[in-house]
Structure 1
Amino acid sequence: MKLHTTMPLKNEEQIMAILKKIVTESYEEIKDEEVLLCIECCDVDLEIATSNDFEFEEAIKENFELDQFGDIIDIENYRRLMYELDAVFIELHKTSGFFDVFLEGEYEVNGELRESESDIIAPKGKFYAPFEDALK
């Protein structure tokens, strides 16, 4: 998967590698749990996942001019980049092979037709539908 961002990145491969590592680590943390993660509800959120990640922060800063305190000057482009990277982060979760993806829609659970109003992911093999009582 290639990053498609509005601004060219000096270290695209490094950023992608960090994102993939975070997805793998996230899976390792929850792989044995029966947990459903809502995509639209910020259960999978790049800003939260990288809030204390110095390596990610430094990799992002390489692409911006910094002030005398080491802070990014162009906040607007930084926010745009983070928004674009968040979409990539979500897609990496969906395509990693670590998670089952349940798209918004109707599912049959215990003989009952139910509707999920959000895209949901869960550790692979735990659920057959995006509902807590839909355990395999």
Structure 2
Amino acid sequence: MLNTKRELVNADKVYSILQKIINQSFESLKGEEVLLCLECLDVDLYIAANNHEEFEEAIKENFKLDEEGEIIDYDGYRELMNDLNDQFILLHSTSGLFDYFPPGDYTVNGENRYQENEYLAPSGVFYAPFEDAVNKG
């Protein structure tokens, strides 16, 4: 499930929404030759959830709101969003929809290369985290 410092009153709901976002992301990238750099914020919950009303409302259920419906505990909100962003990245890499490439040495076209960043790619498209490491049909 979700591992956050703040206990969520609706963890199942938030988890379900995150899974939907990940599935939508995969569907939009399926089969594409796209490498997503984790350190470069190519996979980022803040961007993915921007203007996502269902997600925003689910998060608000975990906080006290002011008279305008805004979260009062901004620091608590930021901490939760940071925790959820970490979980969002982990869910991508464990979903089975994306291949995860950790930093390390890879052999691409007979050449040894080192990749210092973590990457994700739609499952089955790449065999290493380099643009010319595409799996051939």
Query: How many pairs were matched up?
Result: 135
Residue 132 of structure 1 aligns with which residue?
A: 131
Residue 58 of structure 1 aligns with which residue?
A: 57
Q: Kindly provide the CA deviation profile for residues 75-112 of structure 1, in whole angstroms up to 9, marking residues without a partner as x.
A: 00000000000011001100000111110011011111
Q: Kindly provide the CA deviation profile for residues 8-34 of structure 1, in whole angstroms up to 9, marking residues without a partner as x.
A: 111010000000110001000000210
TM-score normalised per structure 2: 0.96
Correspondences of 1:97-136 after superposition (within 5 Å): 97-136=96-135
What is the deviation of 1:40? 1.0
Aligned to 1:100, the other structure's residue is in SS state strand
Matched AA of 1:22: I
Matched AA of 2:74: I
Q: Kindly provide the CA deviation profile for residues 45-68 of structure 1, in whole angstroms up to 9, marking residues without a partner as x.
A: 000000010000000000101111
TM-score normalised per structure 1: 0.97
What is the deviation of 1:6? 1.3
Structure 2: gaps spanning 5 or more residues = none
Correspondences of 1:70-89 after superposition (within 5 Å): 70-89=69-88
Provide the identity percentage.
Answer: 56
Structure 1: gaps spanning 5 or more residues = none
Residue 5 of structure 1 aligns with which residue?
A: 4
1:27 is aligned to 2:26: yes
Aligned to 2:134, the other structure's residue is in SS state coil
Query: Structure 1: which 4+ aligned runs deviate by more than 2 Å?
Result: none
What is the deviation of 1:115? 0.9
What is the deviation of 1:69? 1.2
